[in-house]
């Protein structure tokens, strides 16, 4: 039986290129593509892929929060992070979100095919180029404070990312299916929790903590 794959990346050429190569691999079937984390969550529920190949820095919903939602709602689906970020901060947060693998975008394609098969067998994979990460240490620290936006709820993280990307209250409300009043309430809670009261401060925080890069 083929391993069903969902490819997630906001860059069309990268996404389509990966899909095209994976379709040539024996035993691997690409069932869908997504351009952001929110679409990835929806398509995972629709297609039930075995493995999601997930970018991290994406608009609307980043790969970390998308991974957390996917693993919560679809525990049988594995996630592989495919990112340009080699910082331990991003690696650990993706693992805490539920990812089974972490690869760098400069890796050879053959490595991705191997990693897909590896995580589908319930094994974990970390790119050899990522140094200084002890999986035993990570496992022992799962109860410690998360590295990225630790005090915010899932919904607050979504609102913060959209705000940082320049969307106004009505746009955020439409994106998330909420009322403008609810978005304003979330915004106030975010500001109170972070002790930040300007959009500029919140944007800097979101970039620093990996919620958005504003380069998508």
pLDDT by residue, tens only, the chain of 216 residues: 899 999 999 999 999 999 999 999 999 999 999 999 999 999 999 999 999 999 998 988 999 999 999 999 999 999 999 988 887 778 888 988 999 999 998 888 888 999 999 999 999 998 887 766 555 455 455 544 454 445 788 899 889 989 988 889 999 999 899 999 999 999 999 999 888 988 888 888 887 777 776 543
Task: Identify the pLDDT of residue 11.
Answer: 93
Residues 11 and 53 reside in one and the same domain: yes
Residues 26 and 128 reside in one and the same domain: yes
Local structure of 209: helix, strand or coil: coil
Q: CA-CA distance, 159 to 142, in Å (whole number)?
A: 25
Residues 32 and 121 reside in one and the same domain: yes
Is the Cβ–Cβ distance between 35 and 80 less than 8 Å?
no
Domain that holds residue 39: 3-140
Q: CA-CA distance, 46 to 39, in Å (whole number)?
A: 10
Task: Identify the pLDDT of residue 53.
Answer: 97
Q: What angle do CA 71, 75, 79 make, to 5 degrees?
A: 50
Helix axes 63-73, 37-47, angle to 10 degrees: 20
Task: Tell me, yes or no, whether 216 lies in a domain.
Answer: no
Task: Identify the pLDDT of residue 198.
Answer: 87
Task: Identify the pLDDT of residue 145.
Answer: 47
The CB density around residue 86, as the number of other CB atoms within 10 Å, is 17
What is the pTM (predicted TM-score) of this model? 0.76
Q: CA-CA distance, 184 to 118, in Å (whole number)?
A: 44
User: Could you tell me the two tokens for 88?
Assistant: 């331990």
Residues 159 and 55 reside in one and the same domain: no
Local structure of 144: helix, strand or coil: coil
Residues 15 and 46 reside in one and the same domain: yes
């Amino acid at each position: 039986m083929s391993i069903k794959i969902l490819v997630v990346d906001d860059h069309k050429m990268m996404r389509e290129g990966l899909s095209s190569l994976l379709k040539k691999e024996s035993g691997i079937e690409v069932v869908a593509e997504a351009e952001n984390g929110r679409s990835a969550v929806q398509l995972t529920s629709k297609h039930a892929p075995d493995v999601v190949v997930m970018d991290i820095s994406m608009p609307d919903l980043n790969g970390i929060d998308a991974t957390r939602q996917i693993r919560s709602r679809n525990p049988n689906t594995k996630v592989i992070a495919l990112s340009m970020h080699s910082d331990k901060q991003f690696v650990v947060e993706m693992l805490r979100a539920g990812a089974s693998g972490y690869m760098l975008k400069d890796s050879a394609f053959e490595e991705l095919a191997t990693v897909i098969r590896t995580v589908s067998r319930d094994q974990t994979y970390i790119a050899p180029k990522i140094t200084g990460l002890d999986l035993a240490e990570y496992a022992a620290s799962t109860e410690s404070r998360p590295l990225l936006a630790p005090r915010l709820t899932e919904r607050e993280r979504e609102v913060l990312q959209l705000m940082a990307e320049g969307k106004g209250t009505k746009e955020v409300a439409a994106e998330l299916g909420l009322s403008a009043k609810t978005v304003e309430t979330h915004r106030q809670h975010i500001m109170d929790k972070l002790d930040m009261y300007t959009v500029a401060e919140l944007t800097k925080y979101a970039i620093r903590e990996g919620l958005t890069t504003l380069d998508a």
